[in-house]
Amino acid sequence: MELVDTFGRVHRDLRIAVTDRCNFRCQYCMTEEGMVWMPRDGLLTFEEIERIARLAVERYNVDSIRLTGGEPTVRAHLSRLVRKLADLGVDLAMTTNGVSLPLVADDLREAGLRRLNISLDSLHRDRFLELTRRDDLDRVLQGIDAAIDAGFDPVKINVVLMNGINDDEIVDFARFGRDKGVMVRFIEFMPLDADEQWGPDRVVPLQRVIEEIHEAFPIEAIERTSAPATRYRYLDGQGEVGVIATVTEKFCDTCDRIRLTADGQFRNCLFAVTDYNLRDAMRGGATDDELAAIIEGAVHDKWAGHGIDTVHFIRPKRNMSQIGG
């Protein structure tokens, strides 16, 4: 059986937020004043996460799981959860800010994690401090090295581009990826920031990114898949670069992602305005069939697209930290 919505999209990619907490204070996570964290007993336990993941894999052929947050490495004993999910035989990945990787990369790799996405929005120390409110650029760079040394393949660097903030670093990041042997993915700024400062004028479009990179390092397009990034290979054979153009060249028609928040809410889209409460259903004694009915109903209700470029767009009440990216 497969999870198919009314538009014929098959959903096989499950994103699981393991916490809403973070060790940065970036614009996606919280305002300058901070954020009210959910009570710890509101978070799904590892056993509850495993139950939903197993249901998705065994009943609906979900074959890809990504752990997100918040910052997933702040969740204690994370390698225990990784081992449980790796036993399901899926492509298991994680998105992290990289700060803790020197301490946990080897353990996570040994537990069964295979791929890493590391978020890094600037290579300049002062700008990194401004964006994250933490002077931890060196620790993130050390985390990237730790991921490479631990054998993660691929290691991807996620760069959220913002006009007038870090859009002058496009070629610098491309060079960084080539030199390190990692894949840089530029992500268009989306309306999920905690400060609600997003606007279309802040978005750096795919076409500009590709033109600037091509001028410095010639590239050619790779055939698109259901993955969120439009990918390009360097003509000299020195790796790839990608752009996730959620705003200017949306890919909703091929989206195969579903999401589970840290407090057990099932979401059919990053920009969904409705949550489907699996946590309370589980804790109320729901059977797997009853949980499956909730999941199937949520996927059936998925919209054709996020509608960012329309007058009907509704901004989600939760920011990125609370949703899981």
Task: Encode 54-80: b = buried (16+ Cβ within 10 Å), e = exposed.
Answer: bbbbebbebebbbbbbbbbbbbeebbe
> DSSP character for 253?
G
Q: Cβ(187)–Cβ(247) under 8 Å?
A: no
The residue-averaged pLDDT of 97-124 equals: 97
Beta-bridge mates of residue 214: none
Q: What band does 32 get if pLDDT is binned at 50, 70 and 90?
A: low
What is d(CA 46, CA 44) in angstroms, rounded to the nearest whole number?
Answer: 7
Q: What is residue 193's predicted lDDT score, i.e. its pLDDT? A: 52
Q: What is residue 199's predicted lDDT score, i.e. its pLDDT? A: 66
Q: Does 314 have pLDDT greater than 70?
A: no
Q: What is residue 211's predicted lDDT score, i.e. its pLDDT? A: 97
Q: Does 70 have pLDDT greater than 80?
A: yes
Of 197-206, 266-275, 310-319, give the lowest mean pLDDT range: 310-319
Beta-bridge mates of residue 257: 13
Q: Cβ(16)–Cβ(53) under 8 Å?
A: yes
Tens digits of per-residue pLDDT, 208-241?
Answer: 999 999 999 999 999 887 778 899 999 999 999 9
Q: What is residue 28's predicted lDDT score, i.e. its pLDDT? A: 57
CA-closest candidate to residue 255, choices 240, 276, 272, 239: 272
Task: Specify the higher pLDDT residue, 34 or 47.
Answer: 47
**154 preceded by a cis bond (ω within 30 of 0):** yes
CA-closest candidate to residue 305, choices 261, 246, 229: 246
Indicate whether this model's pTM tops 0.75: yes
Tens digits of per-residue pLDDT, 163-196?
Answer: 999 999 999 999 999 999 999 999 988 665 555 5
Q: What is residue 269's predicted lDDT score, i.e. its pLDDT? A: 87
Q: What band does 41 get if pLDDT is binned at 50, 70 and 90?
A: confident
Set out the domains of the chain in order of their start, with CATH numbers.
13-323 (3.20.20.70)
CA-closest candidate to residue 286, choices 62, 55, 59: 55
Q: What is residue 229's predicted lDDT score, i.e. its pLDDT? A: 85
What is d(CA 255, CA 316) in angstroms, rounded to the nearest whole number?
Answer: 18
* Size of the chain in residues: 325
Q: Does 300 have pLDDT greater than 80?
A: yes
CA-closest candidate to residue 17, choices 87, 69, 58, 57: 69
What is d(CA 14, CA 64) in angstroms, rounded to the nearest whole number?
Answer: 6
**Phi, psi of 200, deg, nearest 5:** -60, -25
Q: Which helix (H) or strand (E) holds 186?
A: strand 183-188
Q: What band does 311 get if pLDDT is binned at 50, 70 and 90?
A: very low
Cβ-proximal residues to 151 (8 Å cutoff; 6+ apart), any chain: 109
Beta-bridge mates of residue 265: 277
Q: What is residue 307's predicted lDDT score, i.e. its pLDDT? A: 57
Between the two ends of the chain, the Cα-to-Cα distance in Å is: 26
C-alpha separations of 40 from 20, 44, 159, 318 in Å = 10, 9, 30, 18
What is d(CA 45, CA 182) in angstroms, rounded to the nearest whole number?
Answer: 33
